[in-house]
């Protein structure tokens, strides 16, 4: 018995040692997982304020009736030495505990801004008389809550360029300002300087456990990590306790070699292709695709590809065929930068590609709105679009078409790599040719966005039309949406009906739940998700305790209405049987949680694989990607560019007409009811009079 007992103990010890010992990779190549944790170096305190005043503001409230009491610095006018003839509007922060300027430091600023086009941030260092530009932030004139992240790269480059980088400099002041104009308002909520610290491990779980063991975490549950960039845990500050929101970083996967030598190309290719195959196996478990057939196709691509570059090209074409916007290759070398503005915008109008906006001021007298694009460099434009469609991810043809036309000239330049000759047909000019140079596509300095388009590009907007509330929500972002909604909530609640404009809304965070809470009077399903392991969870939204909007609602959407915005619409449809949706296309049909798989760079590729592992169901029990988006209850088309939102806005006019008709019928009904009441009342009075006369005659005869 003693021998058996000892043997059991030895076995238990062996198992524990085996479990606790990390896997040995030997000379094999493997992958490493990494992310960053924000460690705060400095946070601006109110004692640091040199110019400005401390104020309290009432939004966004944590709950109705309880103001969001936080001490903030409101900007004031001042006259700095460097701008003797200019009135500036801003705040100067004097750094109390001096910190040395470091290339690894980054900064974050939160602020409200109203009627400010751009905000400038300057840095003043000890022993240097002049200011260094830290950043210039273009804002726009909408009232918004803004989070801005930046680095100290620009001032450090300036010091290096002028040979001033041989000594260490301490930060003396940070100045945040704009050039003064009427109606400005700037409230600085927070300014922090932090140092991102890299954490690495050989697996996702090891990485999470490493963070948990090294850093105190506000959340105890590991499920608060979302691998792939959506969420990271809240890590307590390493230097001081703070309630600042922590920045979010994706968990990244890279390839490494345990040898000192570089990883071989063959081994790198094997690592990449096998890892992607494992992702595909999991992906096909969550879809209705033919798993064996598609995996066989993928294996064929792996076998016949002669290089990593060729593999990426074949893989991209393979993924496009799935028509799943959440399973794709994102190639930074192939996609235009977001801030590149095209000289001309096009849209599909009645199966023709028409000019719908002219942004290059040099083209205003050369091309007219509504002119039809026929060919580019002699090639029919429809052939070009069909070719690009094969390389564009999207659940619906409307979504893919929109993506192509948004940057059509950029994509055409990538095909021809030369000056573009556009053949157009106009009502006034007839057929003509327009030349577009590479500079006009890639770095156009003559772009001016027309006022009517700027108005429609507002992130949020609210106005009353015949006492119908028009509310535009251009993105779901909690820190901007929440204060905006509370600023217009009283006007919204007293309106007769609501037109909710969700066109061009790419989705965003779960502030959709915040907006939905005003339109439900009992707990309501938002969405349900399942993963391949069988775990599932249903997200419920609770009604707002103070406000409930029960009036008629019309929602406007288009092919750019995406992701969380689509889940919001489905939740509204579930809660409101009489909800009217109006559109000229389906929504994007793109609503799933995603992860990122970072890939080694090749000659023509730099980026990552985007994929999903969950199945997300809407409140109405559907998978957006599989149904190809939400179909509008009232489907219409555009007859010309004048029907588009920046011009006569046909969809908005249809919504107003619908409500006019609805309330017109109601008013007529009320008018008839009042008339009927008058007739009945008059008849009763007449009968009473007749009865009284008969009674008097009867009495007289009796006498």
Q: What is the pLDDT of residues 604-624, one digit of tens each?
A: 888 888 887 678 889 988 888
Q: How confident is the model at residue 14 (pLDDT cuts 50, 70, 90)?
A: very low
pTM, two decimal places: 0.71
Q: Out of 144-148, 162-166, 182-186, 396-400, pick the least confident.
A: 144-148
Domain encompassing residue 538: 453-656
- Domain co-membership, 475 together with 415: no
- Domain co-membership, 244 together with 361: no
Q: Is the pLDDT of residue 636 over 90?
A: yes
Q: What is the DSSP string of 158-211?
A: HHHHTT--SS--BEEEEEEEEE--TT-EEEEEEEEEEEEEEEEESSHHHHHHHH
In a domain, 210, yes or no: yes
In a domain, 228, yes or no: yes
In a domain, 573, yes or no: yes
203 contacts 227 by C-beta, under 8 angstroms: no
How many CB atoms are closer than 10 A to CB 4? 8
In sequence order, the 6+-apart residues with CB closer than 8 A to the CB of 702 are none
In a domain, 119, yes or no: yes
Query: Which DSSP symbol is given to 632?
Result: P
Return the pLDDT at 487. Answer: 81
Q: Tell which wins on pLDDT, 284 or 504.
A: 504
Adjacency order of strands within the sheet including 580-583 = 460-465, 468-473, 497-501, 553-556, 580-583, 634-635
Q: Out of 99-108, 177-186, 220-229, pick the least confident.
A: 220-229
Return the pLDDT at 238. Answer: 44
Q: How far apart are CA 312 and CA 276, in angstroms?
A: 11
- Domain co-membership, 85 together with 218: yes
Nearest Cα neighbor of 175 from 158, 161, 157, 188 is: 188
Q: How far apart are CA 543 and CA 181, in angstroms?
A: 41
Dihedral sign, Cα of residue 113, residue 476, residue 470, residue 489: negative
Q: How far apart are CA 182 and CA 164, in angstroms?
A: 39
| Region of residue 189 (left: phi > 0; alpha: psi -120 to 50; beta: else) | alpha
Q: Out of 41-55, 376-390, 594-608, pick the least confident.
A: 41-55
- Domain co-membership, 459 together with 442: no
Return the pLDDT at 701. Answer: 64
- Domain co-membership, 424 together with 497: no
* C-alpha separations of 270 from 30, 255, 440 in Å: 11, 11, 42
659 contacts 466 by C-beta, under 8 angstroms: yes
Give percent above pLDDT 90 in the chain.
27
- First-last CA distance in the chain: 131
Given 423, 448, 473, the domain boundary residue is 448
- Domain co-membership, 525 together with 617: yes
Q: How far apart are CA 540 and CA 317, in angstroms?
A: 38
Q: How far apart are CA 280 and CA 597, in angstroms?
A: 12
- Domain co-membership, 499 together with 357: no
3-state secondary structure of 702: helix
Q: What's 192's domain CATH number? A: 2.60.120.260
Return the pLDDT at 616. Answer: 85
546-578: per-residue pLDDT in tens? 899 999 999 999 999 998 999 999 999 999 989
Q: Is the pLDDT of residue 453 over 80?
A: yes
Q: Regarding beta strands 88-94 and 76-78, do their DSSP bridges make them parallel or antiparallel, or are they unpaired?
A: antiparallel
Q: What's 486's domain CATH number? A: 3.90.226.10
Return the pLDDT at 228. Answer: 41
Q: How far apart are CA 307 and CA 309, in angstroms?
A: 5
Q: How confident is the model at residue 227 (pLDDT cuts 50, 70, 90)?
A: very low
Q: How far apart are CA 652 and CA 281, in angstroms?
A: 45
Q: Is the pLDDT of residue 499 over 60?
A: yes
Indicate the number of domains in the chain.
3
Q: How confident is the model at residue 675 (pLDDT cuts 50, 70, 90)?
A: very low
Given 448, 476, 509, the domain boundary residue is 448
| Region of residue 207 (left: phi > 0; alpha: psi -120 to 50; beta: else) | alpha
In a domain, 357, yes or no: yes
156 contacts 101 by C-beta, under 8 angstroms: yes
- Domain co-membership, 235 together with 148: yes
In a domain, 42, yes or no: yes
Long-range contacts of 538-541 (CB under 8 A, 24+ apart): 539/513, 541/513, 541/516, 541/517, 541/571
Q: Is 93 exposed, middle or buried (0-12, 13-18, 19+ CB in 10 A)?
A: buried
Return the pLDDT at 669. Answer: 35
- Domain co-membership, 527 together with 614: yes
Q: What's 430's domain CATH number? A: 2.30.42.10
235 contacts 216 by C-beta, under 8 angstroms: yes
681-692: per-residue pLDDT in tens? 666 677 777 777
Token pair in block for residue 149:
């992240």
| Region of residue 48 (left: phi > 0; alpha: psi -120 to 50; beta: else) | alpha
Q: How far apart are CA 134 and CA 226, in angstroms?
A: 32
- Domain co-membership, 459 together with 413: no
In a domain, 14, yes or no: no
How many CB atoms are closer than 10 A to CB 321? 10
- Domain co-membership, 564 together with 639: yes
Token pair in block for residue 278:
């494992």
Q: What is the DSSP string of 105-122?
A: -EEEEEEEEES-SEEEEE
Q: Is the pLDDT of residue 63 over 50?
A: no
Q: Is the pLDDT of residue 324 over 80?
A: no
In a domain, 599, yes or no: yes
Given 382, 413, 448, the domain boundary residue is 448
Nearest Cα neighbor of 652 from 514, 526, 519, 556 is: 556
- Domain co-membership, 366 together with 512: no
Q: How far apart are CA 34 and CA 252, in angstroms?
A: 5
Q: How far apart are CA 217 and CA 211, in angstroms?
A: 8
């Amino acid at each position: 018995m003693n021998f058996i007992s000892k043997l059991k103990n030895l076995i238990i010890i062996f198992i524990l040692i085996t479990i606790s010992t990390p896997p040995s990779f030997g000379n094999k190549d493997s992958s490493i997982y990494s992310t960053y944790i924000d460690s705060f170096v400095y946070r601006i305190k109110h004692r640091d304020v040199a110019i400005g005043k401390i104020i309290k503001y009432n939004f966004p409230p944590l709950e109705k009736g309880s103001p969001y009491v936080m001490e903030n610095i409101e900007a004031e006018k001042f006259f700095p030495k460097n701008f003797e003839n200019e009135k500036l509007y801003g705040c100067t922060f004097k750094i109390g505990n001096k910190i040395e300027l470091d290339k690894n430091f980054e900064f974050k600023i939160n602020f409200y801004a109203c009627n400010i086009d751009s905000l400038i941030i300057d840095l003043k260092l000890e022993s240097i008389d002049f200011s260094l530009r830290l950043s210039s932030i273009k804002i726009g004139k909408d009232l918004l809550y803004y989070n801005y992240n930046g680095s100290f790269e620009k001032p450090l480059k300036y010091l290096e360029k002028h040979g001033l980088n041989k000594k260490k400099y301490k930060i003396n002041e940070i100045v945040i300002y704009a050039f003064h104009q009427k109606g400005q308002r700037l409230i600085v909520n927070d300014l922090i300087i932090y140092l991102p610290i890299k954490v690495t491990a050989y697996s996702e779980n090891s990485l999470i456990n490493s963070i948990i063991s090294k850093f105190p975490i506000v959340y105890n549950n590991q499920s608060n990590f979302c691998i792939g960039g959506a969420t990271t845990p809240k890590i307590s500050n390493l230097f001081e306790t703070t309630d600042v929101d922590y920045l979010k970083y994706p968990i990244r996967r890279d390839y490494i070699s345990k040898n000192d030598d570089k990883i071989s190309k063959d081994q790198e290719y094997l690592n990449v292709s096998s890892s992607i195959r494992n992702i595909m196996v999991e992906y096909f478990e969550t879809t209705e695709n033919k798993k064996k057939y598609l995996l066989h196709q993928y294996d064929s691509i792996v076998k016949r590809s002669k290089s990593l570059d060729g593999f990426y090209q074949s893989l991209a074409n393979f993924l496009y065929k799935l028509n799943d916007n959440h399973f794709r290759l994102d190639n930074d070398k192939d996609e235009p930068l977001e801030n590149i503005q095209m000289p001309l915008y096009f849209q599909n109008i009645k199966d023709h590609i028409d000019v719908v906006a002219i942004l290059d001021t040099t083209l205003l007298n050369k091309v007219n709105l509504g002119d039809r694009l026929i060919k580019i460099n002699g090639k029919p434009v429809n052939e070009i679009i069909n070719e690009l469609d094969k390389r564009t991810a999207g659940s619906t043809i409307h979504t893919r078409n929109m993506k192509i036309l948004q940057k059509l000239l950029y994509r055409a330049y990538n095909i021809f790599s030369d000056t573009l000759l556009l053949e157009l047909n106009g009502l006034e000019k007839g057929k003509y040719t327009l030349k577009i140079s590479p500079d006009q596509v890639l770095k156009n300095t003559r772009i001016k966005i027309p006022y009517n388009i700027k108005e429609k590009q507002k992130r949020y907007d609210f106005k009353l039309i015949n006492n119908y509330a028009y509310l535009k929500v251009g993105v779901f972002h909690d820190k901007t949406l929440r204060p905006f909604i509370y600023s217009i909530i009283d006007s919204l609640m007293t309106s007769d009906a609501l037109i909710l404009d969700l066109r061009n809304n790419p989705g965003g965070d779960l502030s959709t739940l915040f907006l939905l809470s005003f339109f439900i009077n009992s707990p309501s399903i938002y969405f349900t998700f399942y993963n391949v392991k069988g775990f599932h969870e249903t997200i419920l939204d609770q009604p707002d305790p103070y406000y409930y909007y029960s009036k008629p609602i019309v929602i406007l959407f288009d092919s750019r209405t995406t992701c969380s915005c689509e889940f919001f619409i489905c939740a509204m449809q579930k809660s409101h049987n009489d909800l009217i949706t109006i559109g000229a296309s389906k929504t994007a049909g793109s609503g799933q949680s995603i992860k990122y798989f970072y890939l080694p760079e090749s000659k023509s590729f730099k980026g990552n694989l985007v994929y999903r592992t969950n199945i997300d169901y809407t409140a109405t029990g559907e998978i957006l990607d599989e149904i190809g988006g939400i179909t509008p209850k009232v489907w219409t088309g555009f007859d010309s560019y004048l029907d588009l939102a920046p011009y006569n806005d046909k969809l908005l006019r249809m919504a107003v007409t619908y409500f006019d008709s609805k309330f017109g019928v109601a008013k007529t009904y009320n008018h008839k009811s009042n008339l009927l009441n008058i007739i009945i009342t008059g008849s009763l009075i007449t009968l009473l009079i007749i009865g009284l006369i008969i009674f008097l005659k009867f009495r007289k005869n009796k006498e």
